Amino acid sequence: MSNDSNQKGGGKSLFALQRRELLMDELRAHGAITVRDIAAKLGVSELTIRRDVNSLADGGLVSRVHGGATLRSPLDRTAVAGKPPAYSYAIGMVVPSLDYYWPQVISGAREEAEGQNLRIMVRGSAYDASDNRRQVQALLDTQNIDGLIVAPDMAGAPGRELLRWLNALPIPVVLAERRTPSDIPAHRLEWVATDHAFGAGMAVRHLWQEGHRAIGCLTDTSSPTSPHVVRGWQQAMAALNIPPENQFYGESAKLDNGERAQHFDDVLKRCQETGTTALLVHSDTQAVAFVQHCVDKGIEVPGDMAIVGYDDEVAYLAEPAISAVKPPKRYVGKVAVQLMAARLAEGRMRPVHRIQLNPELILRESSVGAQRTTHEP
């Protein structure tokens, strides 16, 4: 009867809300507050703070104690047993593509958000730091978001500057499929990312077990993922003691059809020179085009050339179907939301989490040879 006020749309004095936010901040920072201190700090009467605390306690956000409040504690038996807080946060999400890869990440995030009673607002951006920033700013300005999940472009100086800016935002930020470089002290940024190096290594080991002894790597340098794939490929090659002269490495930028055919011919020629019989192709879109090209030229897949794609977006569409490393995209979104929810609930006391997820290797026809072996990477 008395709680649950300001519903009618009457005087929505922002000040009360601000006070409560501040109170929650203080609480998250120190774990507990006294009514007296907060009242003194804000220059309002203690009764006002008590009323704030009670209102927050009714919402299940804090535990009322004699003299103040603490973060909600399991020992607090006062609250309604059934329903933990009916409070909801809004999370902004900025991703670099709404066509490729990211829809599944968003879908995972949405699914998790629904369960956690959170709202998610997604914006697409370009693969470009300044546009990332513009989109984030738009969310901050127009929506009232409590947290941000973002997959920024981190290349070069603008990328670093963007990271610094994100790190300094007043709301928690979680990076998706990005990691903070160790030389920039972005100590507040949390992240979830697929361990692409592990995925590439898994592919290499699979091809090794299929009998290949010269395994190449063809990547798309326009993608932020590419360096990790290359690193994983190199590490695995080194661990398997494959000499450098049996290592073919090629790069492709975005090409249109004519150039692409030419480029693929070059790749095949260099494979022949180095004796390469298997390729890890980053971005399975490209893998599909490459397999197509091979088939057109009469090169048998996997007989003459085994292929493993990276991303598993469209790999199953090719003929023959392409084996691919499949990042746990939905889980990336899901875990990002979990991180954000936990951060919003626990505040600063919670240590910064940085999470890697391992991808999975999906075996299809393009890499499984005559004598099929068990697929233990």
Partner DNA sequence: TCCCATTTGTTCGACTTTGAACGTTTCAGT
Partner DNA sequence: ACTGAAACGTTCAAAGTCGAACAAATGGGA
Summarize as ranges the residues that interact with its own copies (CB under 8 A): 10, 14-18, 20-21, 24, 31-32, 37, 56, 59, 61, 63, 65-68, 70, 73-77, 114-115, 182-183, 185, 187, 195, 197-198, 201-202, 205, 235, 239, 328, 331, 335, 350-360, 377
Q: Look-up: residue for tokens 């179907």?
A: 321
With CA atoms as reference, report the closest residue to 170 among 25, 41, 61, 71.
25
Nearest 5°: the CA angle 244, 246, 252 is 90
- Smallest separation, CB 60 to DNA (Å): 16
Q: Which is nearer to DNA, 41 or 269 (CB)?
A: 41
Q: How far apart are CA 62 and CA 76, in angstroms?
A: 9
Nearer to its own copies by C-beta: 77 or 372? Answer: 77
For residue 227, which of 310, 288, 291, 308 has the smallest C-alpha distance? 310
> Which of DNA, its own copies, none does residue 156 bind to, with CB < 5 to 8 Å depending on kind?
none
The site for DNA, by CB under 7 A, has a size of 28
- Alpha-carbon distance of 240 to 187, in angstroms, equals 36
Closer of 39 and 299 to DNA (Cβ): 39
Tokens standing for residue 355 = 């999470």
Q: Which does 357 bind (CB under 5 to 8 A by kind): DNA, its own copies, none?
A: its own copies
Least separation in angstroms between CB 65 and its own copies: 4
Which residue from 355, 362, 372 is spatially nearest to 195, judged by alpha carbons?
Answer: 355
Least Å from the CB of residue 246 to DNA: 51
Binding of DNA by 68 (CB under 7 A): yes
Mask 6-45, x = binds DNA (CB under 7 A)? x-xxxxxx-xx--x--------------xxx------xxx
74 vs 243, beta carbon nearer its own copies: 74
When the beta carbons of 14 and 253 are compared against DNA, the nearer one is: 14
* Smallest separation, CB 368 to DNA (Å): 31
Give 50 or 134: the residue with its C-beta nearer to DNA: 50
Beta carbon of residue 68, minimum distance to DNA (angstroms, whole number): 6
- Contact yes or no for 249/230 (Cβ under 8 A): yes
Min separation Cβ 12 and DNA, Å: 7
Q: Which residue among 48, 70, 97, 107 contacts DNA (CB under 7 A)?
A: 48
Give the span between the Cα atoms of 156 and 266, in whole angstroms.
Answer: 30
Q: Which is nearer to DNA, 57 or 280 (CB)?
A: 57
45 interacts with, out of DNA, its own copies, none, CB within 5 to 8 A per kind: DNA
Q: Quick one: which of 285, 253, 250 has its CA closest to 269? A: 250
Closest CA to 250 of 211, 225, 224, 276: 276
In angstroms, rounded to a whole number, what is the distance separating the alpha carbons of residues 311 and 326?
5
Concatenated DSSP letters for 162-192?
A: HHHHHHT-SS-EEEES----TTS--TT-EEE
Strand partners, 149: 93, 174
Summarize as ranges the residues that interact with DNA (CB under 7 A): 5-6, 8-13, 15-16, 19, 34-36, 43-48, 50-51, 54, 64-68
